[in-house]
Chain A
Amino acid sequence: MPLDTKTPIPTSFRVVGTRPLRPDGIDKVTGRARFGADMWAPGMLVGRILRSPHAHARIRKIDISKAQALEGVKAVVTRADFKAQDGDLADILDNVMAGKKALYDGHAVAAVAAVSAAVARKALSLIEVDYEILPHVTDVDEAMKPGAPLLHDGMITAGVEPAPTKPSNVTRRHEFGHGDVEKGFKKADIVVEREFKTEATHQGYIEPHACLATLSPDGVAELWVCTQGHFMVRAVCAGLLGIDISKLRVTASEIGGGFGGKTTVFIEPVALALSRKANRPVKIVMSRDEVFRATGPTSSASMRVKIGVTKDGRITAADGEFRYQGGAYAGSPVEFGAMSAFACYDLENVRAVGYDVVCNRPKQAAYRAPGAPISAFAVESVIDELAKKLGMDAIDFRIKNAAKPGTKSSYGPTYGEIGLITTLEEAKKHPHWKAPVKPGQARSMACGFWFNFGGQTCVSLNINVDGTCTLAVGTPDIGGSRASMSLMAAEELGIPYESVRAIVADTSSLGYNDVTDGSRTTFATGMATIFAARDAIKKLCGRAAQIWGIPEDAVVWEKGYARPSGANAGSFEPLSLADIAKSSGNTGGPIAGHTEYNAEGAGVSFATHIVDAEVDKETGRTTITRYTVLQDAGKAVHPSYVEGQFQGGAVQGIGWALNEEYIYGKDGRLQNAGFLDYRIPVASDLPMIDTKIIEIPNKGHPYGVRGVGETSIVPPLAAIANAVSAAAGVRLTQLPMSPPKVLKAIEEGARKGH
């Protein structure tokens, strides 16, 4: 790291931690902001994709001749129009456009570009696909059974020694942990072991995927797209189309939500292929039905968790098996699920085994803390049951076993400064935990963990002659990051927040940036912004030294001014950033600061959620009546948007716990591919979501920032399951806890005499 990272974390801030209006706000409240589907180009065609109606089918032949002959059709593409791939891009290509087999209902098999949507629709109906329908499997347990329909010939489970001799749908086995769990269970006085299942849920962003592509015969291409990572889009598309990376310029539009679901490509390579063939711009906008059937929901899962405790409430061993189905291709988030499963606890003996399983479903995509909410649901349910068996307060039991600074985590590393116990203590003190529980309701809680990430980041900060700054970042602004970047730049430079304009630069105007994901942007891009500002400050001090005719090291930067410093510096009036910028043309030209680096030092974060739930025992319907989030943000750069992340994560978790699920028919087709039947929480389903921001600074960031976006969705599934179980009088082990399931559990519980 060429820049100074050793500066201590400030204890007080001037603008960081305040709540200014976001710089892109007026565009968004006036309808002026341009999202994925809002762009238009001269001569633009409409692109549409034909999708498989079968869950599993061999594609014998595709006849596009009739579609091609239709008036107004300018291009038809199939798999043959893409460059053959191996390695990481092979599965991505196969998912973008099916090859020999369609692996799920909704798998793309061909696409057209036409002069209008009506002509494109007609053309799709004229494409003849000869399918040989194959047996399918959509459930993870069924897919793991011997004799299950195999999706990929010759898939041998990785991570098993010796390697299996027979192919299966299990792509990989993972194992994490330390100590000796068998020995640990022998020391336990009470052991609870349970099986759990969860259904796949969709990220449910309101903006369907959309892009506008232009690819000329000379290979020069432009792409406008709603994505969480336009550099990723560039790399993947250039590979799939066989064009030079430098010839493809990708501009990230405003993005209407992603939550991990826009960290991959679906339509972008297809639009480029159609544009190349038609030699005209092509826009593809997915319908909501396509979003559900052909983009990534998260995994469904089947799990077993076993935890043992002594009578005084100390955990002696924890063991879990996590089986995640991740759709038609390898890569479910089971590794993160298994790693994070027991991460909240200080454990001597722990083991987490994960199985990554393929099924005839759309390939899963990241969904906010990928994998972690699922395993936390199972683990925190067992923890809740143990606390009840011990007769201990749920929070006290967790505090007794909680991970703290110096704990060896269940997935390997030893924790530095972490805030789990603080979130638990704050929860215990919170008016919500102390308030009497209303009649007919039950209260419970759960904890959650997320790693947070750094990654490749590049930022440029240009000082303008009028004393303002333009900050170019390469991470799309998905929830207010322009505001937090502007705050950090302004803080470091000592200028007003309003004097910084943050823009999301296109792929040709800035160095490579990883995707906006893993709660990395405020941490990594924020750190890069601070370092870019420090780089600019160094240059500003140099210019002041030049103006004053003194050595550079005799100038310091304080609160937005260059000042002479030291015995021999002489006496000069301080120069403001604006003063120095104004004369920059005479002192060496424009001034800018840059950072290019691979960010490290992301601090893990923890949250504790408290929930009150009411279950109608006649209908099985659950109402959430009160909800509180307590989470460690490290440092909340813009507290309003941190609260918003907490609230949004909690509500997505409420949907996941109670209502949202992918429902498949016996034919392997998705039954509820629309917002009417896949119902995400609406305003009338919810109470206000109370929040408490806790700030335990992350020493890996100059301002102490941790990520905040993901951790907030980890505890809700378990917290709600614990509350619903308490209210229903029977332990719920399957998500979603939709009314029929809750009713069934209550009836079965009554039969067993609960």
Chain B
Amino acid sequence: MSQVHVTAKINGDTTEYLCEPDETLLDVLRNRLGLTGAKEGCGTGDCGACSVTLDGRLVCSCLVLGAEANGREVRTIEGMAHGETLHPLQRKFLEHAALQCGICTPGFLVAAKALLDKNPDPSETEIRYWLAGNLCRCTGYDKIVRAVQDAAAEMRKG
């Protein structure tokens, strides 16, 4: 099988890579580009640990082919902080102890940012439904929901 040549913008940088036609974007990110922040929890789109955005839309990167990213913009957890400055969501996750083992955290942060980009003032129910595709087995979600609420409130204040 001959490999596909792809040019994509990843976290703002133009990136070129070769991948198999049937290779997932998650495998490309992790194995070819060394961006291991997105995690494989299930490989079937059920856990959200591999969440990234593709042209601003939240996707499970295990359900997208690496070749599909051609000419598009991918954002991962590695592109969320600006230099030394954490994104408010990252900071609030730390302050609220909204992570225990931390494996689901990148996916939650990417998903929560996608929510706040769309809806800066979500209700608790909206947050819970938006994040229903991201599994966390440690926290019981309480502190995660509170961290997202707090970050949203802070971001609204500007």
Contacts and interface: CB of A to CB of B under 8 A. Distances in A.
B39 A37 contact: yes
A674 B44 contact: yes
A683 B40 contact: no
B3 to A, nearest CB: 12
B129 A684 contact: yes
26 contacts: A29-B93, A29-B106, A29-B109, A30-B80, A32-B78, A33-B102, A34-B36, A35-B103, A37-B40, A206-B47, A206-B103, A206-B136, A256-B39, A256-B41, A257-B101, A287-B43, A288-B47, A643-B143, A644-B97, A644-B140, A645-B100, A648-B139, A648-B140, A683-B127, A685-B132, A686-B142
Interface string B37-76: 1111111101101000000000000000000000000001
A31 B138 contact: no
A478 B138 CA distance: 10
B151 to A, nearest CB: 12
A689 B80 contact: no
A38 interface: yes
B135 A647 contact: no
Interface in B11-41: 20, 30, 34-41
A38 B36 contact: yes
Interface size class of B (residues with CB under 8 A): 35 or more
Nearest to B143: A644
Contacts of B41: 206-208, 256, 288, 675
- Report whether over half of chain A's contact residues are helix, strand or loop; otherwise say mixed: loop
A30 B90 contact: yes
Leading 8 A-B pairs by shortest Cβ distance = A31-B37, A256-B103, A647-B140, A28-B102, A640-B97, A651-B140, A31-B77, A675-B46
B10 interface: no
B8 interface: no
A31 B42 contact: no
A255 interface: yes
Task: Name the residue in A203, A206, A651 with the highest tally of chain B Cβ atoms < 10 Å from its Cβ.
Answer: A206
Contacts of B99: 25, 28-29
A97 B145 CA distance: 42
Interface residues of A, number: 60
Interface string A649-686: 11110000000000000000000001110001111111
A437 interface: no
Contacts of B103: 35, 205-207, 254, 256-257
Interface of A: 19, 21-22, 24-26, 28-35, 37-38, 40, 118, 203-208, 254-259, 285, 287-288, 478-480, 638, 640-641, 643-645, 647-652, 674-676, 680-686, 688-689
B44 A683 contact: no
A254 B102 contact: yes
A480 B102 CA distance: 10
Contacts of A22: 94, 97
A480 B76 contact: no
Contacts of B152: none
Contact of A21 (B95, B105, B133, B146): B95
Nearest to B136: A206
A173 to B, nearest CB: 34
A648 B100 contact: yes
A31 B137 contact: no
A285 B136 CA distance: 20
Task: Name the residue in A30, A40, A118 with the highest tally of chain B Cβ atoms < 10 Å from its Cβ.
Answer: A30
A530 to B, nearest CB: 23
B105 A28 contact: yes
Given A254-B103, A479-B138, A652-B140, 9 more contacts: A28-B99, A30-B77, A37-B40, A40-B34, A203-B137, A205-B103, A257-B138, A285-B40, A682-B135
Nearest to A204: B137
A640 to B, nearest CB: 4
B90 to A, nearest CB: 4
B155 interface: no
Contact of A683 (B86, B105, B131): B131
B141 A640 contact: no
A29 B39 contact: no
B23 to A, nearest CB: 9
Nearest to A480: B100
B153 interface: no
B128 interface: yes
Contacts of B97: 19, 22, 480, 638, 640-641, 643-644
Contacts of B140: 644, 647-652, 686, 689
B157 to A, nearest CB: 21
A641 B99 CA distance: 9
Nearest to B107: A206
Contacts of B135: 204, 206, 675, 680, 682
B29 to A, nearest CB: 10
A118 B38 CA distance: 21
A208 to B, nearest CB: 7
Task: Name the residue in B34, B76, B80, B100 with the highest tally of chain A Cβ atoms < 10 Å from its Cβ.
Answer: B100
